[in-house]
Structure 1
Amino acid sequence: MSTDSVRTHTPEERNRKIDVRVEHCVQHMAEQMDRPAIGRYLEKLEREWDLNRVVTVAASAVSVLGLVLAAKDGRGWKVVSGVAAGLLLQHGVFGFGPLAELVRLLGVRTRREMDLEKFALKALRGDFERIPHEGGPLARANAALVAAQS
């Protein structure tokens, strides 16, 4: 998988755990070859929030909360809003920051990681013609992962 700023700044052990989770899911689906189950799982993937969305919503919520509390109490809550907005700006400019690191520790994936799984599953389901029908489930799973990466 090509690198991005989140994966670059994430410890390799965390990246590997996420990659293994994707590989196991694709291998499991290849063994089952249950098209309706793959379709249901793809629908679930479409609803999953990626790291950027989680960071954006969390930082925005903290910023709004700080403003609301500042209006009620006034004592330093504006600083909370300022810090949250600054961290969100940092994430937007650099593609990574402390908020992304925290969210990543919770196992939240990047859009690219989610798309890899999604396209591998679509390939298994037969949405792409490049996947061989001969060979065992592992061979089909590997071919699907390669097709999704290209």
Structure 2
Amino acid sequence: MSTDAVRTHTADGVNRRIDERVEGCVRHMAEQDRAAISDYLNKLEREWDLNRVVSVAASTVTVLGLVLGAKDGRGWRVVSGVAAGLLLQHGLLGFGPLAGLVRMLGVRTRKEIDLEKFALKALRGDFERIPHDGGPLARANAALVAAQS
């Protein structure tokens, strides 16, 4: 899997757990029919990626802090400032403390979600490079290789 800022700054165990989840899912789906794969692909289309989760969480805390700060004082405005700063850091650097917390919860990057989607599309037969002979494991491995290239 290619590296990016989030994966580089995420603990190896967390990355490994996320990768194993993707591989396990693709192997499981290799034993399913086209309709089941299509249903799961629709679910993946709705999955929130790390950037969306971080943006919504930090923005929510920022707005909440501003609203509560207007009522109860300065402390809440500091919370808003910190949340906005963390969001800015994530936007500029592509990672930050919020991303680390969200990764530990198993939230994936867009690249990781797309890898699973492309592997499943290959299994479904959307690409010609996947052999149809061999067992489900061989097909799952070929789909993962095709999605990564």
Give the structure-1-normalised TM-score: 0.97
Deviations 1:45-72 (A, max 9, x none): 0001000000000000000000000111
Q: Which residues of structure 1 form unaligned runs of 5+?
A: none
2:19 aligned partner = 19
2:99 and 2:77 mapped to 1: Cα distance?
22
Q: 1:75: Cα distance to partner?
A: 3.1
1:135 shift after superposition: 1.1
- Give the Å deviation of 1:111: 0.5
Gaps of 5+ in 2: none
CA distance in structure 1 between the aligned counterparts of 2:51 and 2:22, rounded to whole angstroms: 19
**More deviation, 128-137/52-61:** 128-137
Alignment of 1:84-123 (within 5 A): 84-123=83-122
- Could you tell me which residue of structure 2 aligns to residue 62 of structure 1? 61
Find the aligned partners of 1:44 and 1:2 in 2 and give their Cα distance: 24
SS at match of 1:31: coil
The runs of at least 4 consecutive aligned structure 1 residues that moved more than 6 Å come to none
Amino acid at match of 2:14: R
**Residue identity matched to 1:17:** R
RMSD over aligned CA atoms reads 0.7
State the distance in 1 between where 2:13 and 2:57 align: 25
Share of identical aligned residues, percent? 83
Q: Distance in 1 between matches of 2:74 and 2:112?
A: 42
The offset of 1:74, in angstroms, is 1.6
Matched AA of 1:62: V
In the other structure, the counterpart of 1:6 is 6
